[in-house]
Amino acid sequence: MRVIKGHGTENDFVVVPDPDGELDLPPRLVAALCDRRAGLGGDGVIRAVRTAKVAEVAHLAGEAEWFMDYRNADGSVAEMCGNGVRVLARYLAAFAHVDPADPLPVATRGGVRQVRFEPDGQITVGMGRPELLAAPVRVTTEAGSWDAVGLHIPNPHAVAFVDDVTAAGELLAVPAVEPPGAFPQGVNVEFVERRGPGAIALRVHERGVGETRSCGTGVAAAAVVAARAAGEAAPARWTVDVPGGRLAVTLLADGEVELTGPAVLVATAEVEEAWLTAALAGAGPAA
């Protein structure tokens, strides 16, 4: 099995090419690939597969040739990945005859996302419209507790403002989010520091992963909430600093949100058959 390692602002992924939908990717194999000591290492796995070959999204095949089958490092599936979809686009341009001069629609579990390659090498993704929860939620870590705004874009996020991103603590444990029923499918949590007009910084604890160095849907969620808090004076363009770099979010007049940032392919690797057999057998990444 050939795979490609890539990252977007150091949110890193193992891309598994499977154009004809022939691969089985059980959670234990995803977790083994993402293992940073006994596997290749990554925050998630992206299976690059033709939309028509996946029953779950085949109805989107007329709109998007490619489906981003996104899995978190623990093997769970997710709706979308704002950094991952840029890495997938970079992979498709490099290996699957996608022309970067053309817009690229990508099917995801969160609907079809429009991707475009910018002249400066960055990549922009249409993130859709956010859906905000009506009531506030509360986020608690070992370091403190904060009111937060819950929203889907399309993944679930809880966005809390903190005085300083270090205030969230070490983020080694999953933050508690209340009320318990607010996010039945789990939630990503962002700790956001204001840095000036149109500028924020954040740390994120990702559902199914832990703290990561960036999260594209989380960055978009944080910019939406920061703009809402800033009121009418809020700028349309936001700069968001994350531990792994910088992303830009544009809030369009029609409510759509765009995310712009880098995407880097690092290496192509051939996974050893013996390792693959052991991982599939559940022998554990160290076997």
Q: Which residues are annotated as a binding site?
A: 11, 72, 82-83, 155, 188, 206-207, 216-217
As measured in angstroms, the least distance from the Cβ of 52 to ligand LBFN2T5F is 24
Nearer to ligand LBFN2T5F, 76 or 278 (CB): 76
Nearer to ligand LBFN2T5F, 77 or 280 (CB): 77
Assign 3-state DSSP to the chain and report helix, strand, coil percentages, each to 5: 20, 40, 35
As measured in angstroms, the least distance from the Cβ of 115 to ligand LBFN2T5F is 13
CA 259 to chain centre: 11
Residue stretches of the annotated binding site for substrate: 11, 72, 82-83, 155, 188, 206-207, 216-217
Which chain residues interact with ligand LBFN2T5F by CB under 6 A? 11, 44, 72, 78, 81-84, 155, 188, 206-209, 215-217
Which entry of 215, 219, 224, 263 is annotated as an active-site residue?
Answer: 215
Cis peptide bond upstream of 180, omega within 30: no
* Cross-strand bridge partners of residue 203: 191
Assess whether 34 carries a catalytic annotation. Answer: no
- Rounded Cα–Cα distance for residues 78 and 249 (Å): 21
Nearer to ligand LBFN2T5F, 52 or 224 (CB): 224
- Rounded Cα–Cα distance for residues 170 and 160 (Å): 16
- Per the CB < 8 A criterion, the answer to whether 259 and 124 are in contact is yes
Which entry of 81, 153, 158, 226 is annotated as an active-site residue?
Answer: 81
- Per the CB < 8 A criterion, the answer to whether 71 and 80 are in contact is no
User: DSSP label at 180?
Assistant: G
Assess whether 215 carries a catalytic annotation. Answer: yes
Instruction: Encode burial over 113-148: b for 16+ CB neighbours within 10 A, e otherwise.
Output: bbbbbeeeebbbbbbbebeebeeebebebeeeebeb
As measured in angstroms, the least distance from the Cβ of 80 to ligand LBFN2T5F is 6
As measured in angstroms, the least distance from the Cβ of 274 to ligand LBFN2T5F is 30
Nearer to ligand LBFN2T5F, 203 or 207 (CB): 207
Residues with catalytic function: 81, 215
